[in-house]
Amino acid sequence: MSHRPGPTTRRAGPVAVLALALALAACGGADPAVVAQPPAPAPAPTSTAAPDGEAPPAAVGRSAASNRITFVPDRVVLPGGAAAPVQPAATRDGELQVPEDVQHVGWWDGSAEAGDPFGNTVVAGHVDSATDGLGFFSRLLSLTKGETVTLRGPDGHHLAYTITSIRTIKKDALATGSAAFDQTGDPHLVLITCGGDYRRGDGGYDSNVVVTATPKGLAR
């Protein structure tokens, strides 16, 4: 599954993206975030017959480069070399299953794979836990623009990204005030954890730290 002829087809729709954004705004501790179920994957494009002597039209959404490498990340490496396992984070019973182990992070499986030609690759993790202390993604709070983050895959593939923005976004503005979950634009890596002020009475942190990075090239 290293080389695919086109981009992923399981992207989440606008409603699911909005719900996910609102849910991640409430992350923190070692509890799963509540989200709406993403829609079923879109069917793969079918070929269209063409008159004799004419080439069939290109399939909608097909990558121009048939040998483009894409992969589901299984490891993220931050500046300085600190690395953490990345697990696919699906939804179950309306909840995004972000890893409970705060030293692990989750790749939202409704988002782009590393190397896809469009859409954000979204990786989220807990900033801390009442029982386990600081999480791996607490390191996001000390990153700076221009540094490099790398995603690695199970087949030895990797893709490096340059950090272009670091924002702290109020949880009630994450869905409408950012493009963190966009699956239609240029490819980016988006890392998300909790930040801002901790408000015990409101159930957690009041903001999210959103780190956006741009790929340095194609996946290898």
Give whole-number Cα distances, 139 to 35, 77, 109, 133, 209, in Å. 25, 11, 23, 13, 11
Q: Is the dihedral of CA 4, 7, 12, 18 positive or negative?
A: positive
**Least confident stretch, 6-10, 74-78, 179-183, 185-189:** 6-10
pTM, entire model = 0.77
- The DSSP code sequence of 141-162 is GG--TT-EEEEE-TTS-EEEEE
Residue 176 banded pLDDT, cuts 50, 70, 90: confident
Query: What is the mean predicted confidence (pLDDT) over 65-93?
Result: 91
- The DSSP code sequence of 90-140 is -EETTEE---SSTTSEEEETTSPPBT-SSSEEEEE--SEETTTEE-GGGGG
What domains does the chain contain, in order, with CATH numbers? 14-38+67-215 (2.40.260.10)
Average pLDDT, the chain: 78
Rounded Cα–Cα distance for residues 209 and 165 (Å): 10
pLDDT at 31 over 60: no
pLDDT at 17 over 70: no
**pLDDT at position 7, please?**
44
Rounded Cα–Cα distance for residues 23 and 122 (Å): 14
Query: What is the mean predicted confidence (pLDDT) over 169-180?
Result: 81
Which residues, 6+ apart, have CB-to-CB distance to 107 below 8 Å?
72, 73, 86, 87, 88, 89, 121, 122, 123
**pLDDT at position 51, please?**
47
Query: What is the mean predicted confidence (pLDDT) over 158-170?
Result: 97
- Inter-residue contact 215 to 143 (CB < 8 Å): no
Amino acid at residue number 181: F
pLDDT at 159 over 70: yes
Instruction: Go through the chain and tell me how many residues it has.
Output: 220
Find the largest Cα–Cα distance for the chain: 70
Neighbouring-strand partners of residue 160: 150
Residue 32 banded pLDDT, cuts 50, 70, 90: very low
**pLDDT at position 145, please?**
98
- Inter-residue contact 21 to 35 (CB < 8 Å): no
Nearest to 213 by CA among 169, 141, 163: 163
Query: What is the mean predicted confidence (pLDDT) over 161-190?
Result: 90
Map tokens 């993220």 to a residue: 76
Query: What is the mean predicted confidence (pLDDT) over 72-91?
Result: 95
Neighbouring-strand partners of residue 133: 129
Q: Which 3-state string (H, E, C) describes 206-220? A: EEEEEEEEEECCCCC
